[in-house]
Amino acid sequence: MVRPTLDEIFAEDDEFGLLNVKPRAGGGGAAQDRGLQALRDVMAFQDMHGRLPDPDAFDHDEMRLGSIWESVRQAPTEQMRAEDHLGLLEALEPPAPRSWRDEPEESDVPSSLDDIFDDDDLDVDASLVTLKHSTPSAERNLPDHRAEFVPCTDFDAFKERFEAVQQALETGERKALPVKKWAVIEPIEGDFFIRNGLLAMIAEKSEMTARGGARDHRLRVIFSNGMESDPLMSSFRKSLNDDKTARMVEKVGLGPLDPEWESDRLELSGTIYVARSRSTQPEIQSQRMILHKIGVTSQDVARRVADARNDPTFLLAPVEIVATFDLKNLARAKVENLLHRFFADARPGELFVLDRFGKKVFPKEWFFVLPEHVARAAKLIEQGQLHLYRYDLTSQSIVARTE
């Protein structure tokens, strides 16, 4: 079947006159007449009501006239201007639209955040501008003590150990293993690392704390150049991860069951200290004269307690040292364990503090004892006779065992 072309279609008879379309009269004239008529209607509305028609009015006729007027006044003709004896076109001629490139008006620029939030056009929910779960700067846990490098006053006690490890590394008896990125390292006393090109030994790992809401330990790290530092274990771990050259020195022995595995662990002597809390909490302040912390450290006692107000182990408050006792040829960790077990009956059952996250922390190193009790217990440990005595909670005294 052959379809007709357009020429053939238009050449056929137009039975219904569909193609007899008359051109519309000049559109410009009709637009001018519409604008002129709208102006006349608006002037009449102005004379009657004393105002212009509102395009948002509830009355349909006013709304229609107002919408038409908003449209035609944008491009007034000369005839409209000539007939506008009320000056409606001049009064309502819109200002030239501003571009985003134009400089803002001085009055439009707010001088402070208060000006922005006080703007009536800005309806901001108070919950969006009120800080929650944020500690004021004056109350933040700023450390009183930073883990700075200081000379190690007893470096002679560690010098031979450093030399032995260095020689073992050179002969291949020990290996320096790379620290894998983001590896979770749990150092123990006696572990050796290489950090920033220096051998580093964990000389002391203090009791568990929960500083900042996370479980942590304070370390004493001795370096082969004769310096020492006391960072938190998490900080020391981060420093190893940040150092691309960091290494972990392989232990002696085949594993934890090998007797040689713990040969690097130090049996350090140290200092027994008795600390009294300076907390302002009523329940602690009321019994501060009989509530004491018993601790043992191998480092300077003042450095150990310097950051006490940020450490739940110290009841999140500064402390004062009321007594110290030197250890001679006695293992620090064993002495601390003996003292805590000896005074276990005098440990407060419900003593706790809330960390900054509202979690309860129960320190285990505080006891209802007097400094002289700790002094006598330390003397008995030195004499090897502590097992012959016990602490009597009723009389609050150290008495001889009768069994």
- Give the tens place of pLDDT for each residue, 61-78: 888 888 888 888 877 888
Residue 222 confidence (pLDDT) = 92
Whether the per-residue pLDDT at 318 is higher than 70: the answer is yes
Residue 21 confidence (pLDDT) = 60
Residue 266 confidence (pLDDT) = 63
Q: What's the average model confidence in pLDDT over 127-134?
A: 68
Residue 1 confidence (pLDDT) = 65
Residue 267 confidence (pLDDT) = 63
Q: Which residue has the higher pLDDT, 98 or 176?
A: 176
Residue 182 confidence (pLDDT) = 73
Whether the per-residue pLDDT at 252 is higher than 90: the answer is no
Residue 17 confidence (pLDDT) = 67
Decide: 292 and 367 in contact? Cβ < 8 Å.
yes
Question: Which pLDDT band holds residue 262 (cuts at 50, 70, 90)?
Answer: low
Residue 223 confidence (pLDDT) = 94
What is the share, in percent, of the chain residues with pLDDT greater than 90?
17
What is the share, in percent, of the chain residues with pLDDT greater than 70?
80
Residue 300 confidence (pLDDT) = 82
Residue 181 confidence (pLDDT) = 76
Residue 32 confidence (pLDDT) = 64
Q: What's the average model confidence in pLDDT over 41-63?
A: 85
| 242 closest CA partner among 176, 192, 195 | 195
Residue 74 confidence (pLDDT) = 79
Q: Which residue has the higher pLDDT, 333 or 253?
A: 333
Residue 66 confidence (pLDDT) = 84
Whether the per-residue pLDDT at 27 is higher than 70: the answer is no
Residue 402 confidence (pLDDT) = 82
Q: What's the average model confidence in pLDDT over 126-146?
A: 63
Question: Which pLDDT band holds residue 179 (cuts at 50, 70, 90)?
Answer: confident
Q: What's the average model confidence in pLDDT over 269-295?
A: 89
Residue 230 confidence (pLDDT) = 87
Residue 261 confidence (pLDDT) = 52
Residue 16 confidence (pLDDT) = 67
- pTM (2 decimals)? 0.53
Task: Round the average pLDDT of the chain to a whole number and report it.
Answer: 80
Among 21-25, 268-272, 391-395, the range with the most confident prediction by mean pLDDT is 391-395
Residue 134 confidence (pLDDT) = 64
- Give the tens place of pLDDT for each residue, 183-227: 778 888 888 999 988 999 988 888 766 665 567 888 889 999 999
Domain range list for the chain: 33-93, 150-262, 271-400
Residue 82 confidence (pLDDT) = 82
Whether the per-residue pLDDT at 396 is higher than 60: the answer is yes
Residue 330 confidence (pLDDT) = 77
